A and B are shown apart, each in its own frame.
Chain A
Amino acid sequence: MVTFIVRRILSLLPVAFIVLVVTFSLIHLTPGNPAYTILGDQASPQAVHLLDVKMGLTRPLPQQFAAYIGQVARGNLGVSLLDGQSVLSLIITRLPVTLELAVLAVIVSLLIAIPTGIFAAYRPNTWVDNLSRLLALVGAAIPNFWLALLLVYIFAVGLHWLPSLGWVPLTQSVPGNLVHLVLPVIVLALPLAAVTSRVLRGELIEVMHLLYIQVARAKGISEWAVVMHHGVRNALVPVVTVVGLQVGALLGGVVITETIFSLPGMGQLVVNAIFDRDYPVLDGSVLFMAFVVLLANLCVDLVYAWLDPRIRYN
């Protein structure tokens, strides 16, 4: 198992390199550069050139990339071209927001998806299943930016139950923090829950028709235990796969959700870095997010072994 984990972590390095090459190339090939962001419409060609020289952007692209890779290899993600802040410190400041949002969204989505998936599978083609199907369809179909504005209109502007935006750090106030995250978490969790619920339903229906379930029932095990211990556990493997795959999509959703709810997370950092052509911030953030996705997938692989004792990593 340890060998497997070490091997997987080492395999992250080439992936990280590819991510860096793609990000670095794409953003540098996009028209414009940070000098235009800083100088605005007063950017004369001379002023842009001077600033480019100052920021080291006049060197050939491969040379800039080599310098950047060398810097990253030494654990230095560089500094923002706009204000000189360390990229690592920018990421560390924003990471708790995105991490908390994403983790809570996954938990809430599972809290919704698992019961509805089980009920729908246990009573297929009944009103419970139809209702769960409808909710899944709605959850998957509603664009999250629209859902966000709708929820704000109802719960913040209309009912005054929840704040419409903003962020309170956990260290400052736990209730304040959670209250501010209710709406963003729902916005992120619903589409995830919709997919997960349908996958669980389909898988569980199949599992419940397998021979060992009939054996379990014949042995007189309670129906609850049959479903939960023998059915659900075996149906969870594809569910975990889906959740793992959704981490990438979740990080994409975070970008929009953070913007709408004014949450100072990684999503906003990336969006602003793109618009401002703040190359080191963008490269560093994307690299970091790629690591998060890869680590999530590693965790998924490890959970497989826990769920299914037949899976061994040697």
Chain B
Amino acid sequence: MNKKQGLGMAAVLLTGSMLAGCGTSSAQSTVSSHSGAPVEASPVRGGTLNVGIDSDFVTLNPAMSSALIDRQAFINIFDPLLKLSPTMQVEPNLVTHWTVTNGGTTYTLFLRHGVKFQDGTPFNAQAVIYNWDWEMNPANASPRLSDLSLVTHLAAPNPYEIVVTLKAPYSAFLSVLTGRTGMISSPTAMKKWGSAYGLHPVGTGPFKFVQWIKNDHMILERNPLYWKKNQPYLNKIVYTPITNPVQEYNALVTGQVNVIDSVPYQDVNSLASNTSLRYAENPGLGYADMELNTQASPLNNVHNREAIDYAINRQALNQLLYFGHAVPAYTQFSPASWAYDPHIKVPYSDALARQQLAKAGNPKGFSFTLLGENDPATVQEMEAIQSELAKVGITMHIEPVDFTTLLTDAINGNYQADLLGWSGRPDPDQNSYAFDTTGGSFNDPRYSNSQVDSLLLKAREAASESVRKQYYDEAATIVLHQAPYIFLEYTPVIQAWSPSVHGFQVYPDGLMRFSKTWIK
């Protein structure tokens, strides 16, 4: 589902691009914005913030969620154990400090004192362990299980200390705690509501859940028990799902909402000259890519895959589909990640593509079918790729399907190629290990390379960022040239808001954090 939402975000932004001509390009990895006066006045308490989101929530239970859109609500209802800075650095939050011992296999987490869930239940080590035990129970089929798969033992020496023992060193563990696995629910509420807990979430975050009318709105209210005494400033947040991207933007223009989670690419340039709206454009963590099934003919031939890699003009796709706001992608690490390396790339070259086709024994090309979601934006993207490949003789058939079918076929290997995306995570391990290693849970292409397996394992177990970066560079270079994925574009996060909204900041993960936001 994260893939869906990742691509969904791209799709949302792309849809509008069909309705207008090309715009100018923006700087690739720089931040663009005019977010109002740099000096904010004192926060004002009160008011309702109306927020437009590009789809409705699926569930409000972090233990059962796999949709990116759910995280927009979670980040305000549930305070994660650790938080991310605007530059995606892990910072203390409900875990105030931690130690890593025994060669990276033991994490001791020290919890903040005096924190309560919104229902008054105390937040402590027992609550965290209750949540994680629930998620690690296979019978509950929690999508969080894979995040905790290395955990062998959990202990609470005292109410504010948790000792987590892992099977093997896992350098991304702290980063995992900034996401849904680190979002702890009230055990009281979990027991009370059982399977209906997803309709009655209770966390420790700045806002508490009030009402969710599906496809209409969701209301959050200020949490009076929030541990940061002066926050949040807003009294209420109302989320409205608006699935049509043009309509979502219109809702901001007409003042029906104060903030939107994405802006159609073709409207970004006009936003820059619009003084009645504010916006910011940041490099995101996600990307759009094709997955090539390495176990199915003809893409089980590495030269056929490489030919595709060389034949796609990513700059042209960026201009055509993203109005120059994306960044051509060659690896799983976006410009927002410390693992990003702009030097790892392949040239756009028809000649090199033809060379690879000759090596594959298909000098005149070959044909295959690309599955993609049946929304106009994705179909447009597939058509653009189709015309790129046709230039070197590769015939690509397009098969639009609904997302569940796409996901089912991708996971079951019932495809030749598909167009998916990934919303991205802060730690490079979360964007590569499960995708590239043999038998990895996100490895839809069924790719297997012992060298990549070894490099990514070393990167996962190494403590130093610089050492990890070397491993990631090496692995990314191999993956790029073996092409189980054709990375297309890194998609930026572009969000806009009305001038009455203050204290709002755009993060590379696209999540809208409202604890410091106020309205005037």
A interface vs B, CB < 8 Å?
30-33, 35-47, 50-51, 54, 82-85, 90, 93-94, 149, 152-153, 156-157, 160, 163-167, 259-262, 264, 268-269, 272, 274-277
Contact = CB atoms under 8 A, between A and B. Distances in A.
B174 interface: no
B2 interface: yes
B157 interface: no
B247 A152 contact: yes
Contacts of A160: 254
B428 to A, nearest CB: 18
Nearest to B409: A31
Given A90-B214, A166-B240, A262-B241, A40 B4 contact: yes
Interface string B45-88: 00000000000101100001011000000000000000000000
A83 B141 contact: no
Nearest to B56: A272
Contact of B58 (A82, A163, A262): A82
A42, A44, A54, A261: residue with the most chain B Cβ atoms closer than 10 Å: A42
Contacts of A54: 139, 141
B302 interface: no
Contacts of A35: 141
A82 B59 contact: yes
B199 A163 contact: no
B403 A275 contact: yes
A157 B56 contact: no
Given A93-B213, A165-B251, A84 B196 contact: yes
A62 B199 CA distance: 31
B254 A164 contact: yes
Contacts of B215: 94, 262, 264, 268-269, 272
B253 A39 contact: no
Contacts of A41: 1-4, 66, 407, 410-411, 420, 442
A269 B56 CA distance: 11
A42 B146 contact: yes
Nearest to B4: A40
24 contacts: A31-B409, A32-B405, A33-B408, A35-B141, A36-B407, A36-B408, A37-B404, A38-B58, A40-B3, A40-B143, A41-B411, A41-B420, A42-B66, A42-B143, A45-B412, A47-B143, A50-B139, A51-B141, A54-B139, A82-B58, A94-B215, A163-B256, A272-B214, A275-B404
A264 B139 contact: no
B441 interface: yes
Contacts, number: 147
A259 B243 contact: yes
Interface in B389-439: 401-405, 407-412, 420
B405 A31 contact: yes
B244 interface: yes
Contacts of A32: 402, 404-405, 407-408
Given A149-B246, A264-B215, A166 B256 contact: yes
A264 B141 contact: no
Interface string B1-34: 1111000000000000000000000000000000
Contact of B247 (A82, A260, A272, A275): A260
Contacts of A259: 243-244
Nearest to B147: A42
Given A41-B3, A41-B4, 8 more contacts: A32-B407, A38-B143, A39-B66, A41-B442, A82-B58, A83-B196, A259-B244, A262-B247
Contact of A165 (B3, B242, B401): B242
Nearest to B67: A40
Counting from the closest, the 8 A-B pairs by CB-CB distance are A40-B1, A40-B66, A264-B216, A32-B404, A32-B408, A51-B141, A268-B215, A164-B250
Nearest to B255: A160
B243 A262 contact: yes
Interface string B242-270: 11101100110110100000000000000
Contacts of B64: 38
A274 B253 CA distance: 32
A47 B141 CA distance: 6
A163 B213 contact: no
A46 B138 contact: yes
Given A32-B404, A38-B64, A83 B199 contact: yes
Interface string B307-351: 000000000000000000000000000000000000000000000
A36 B407 CA distance: 7
B411 A36 contact: yes
Contact of A84 (B195, B244, B254, B407): B195
B441 A274 contact: no
A40 B2 contact: yes
Nearest to A262: B242
Contacts of A262: 215-216, 240-244, 247
A164 B240 CA distance: 13
B198 interface: yes
B196 A152 contact: no
Contacts of B241: 262
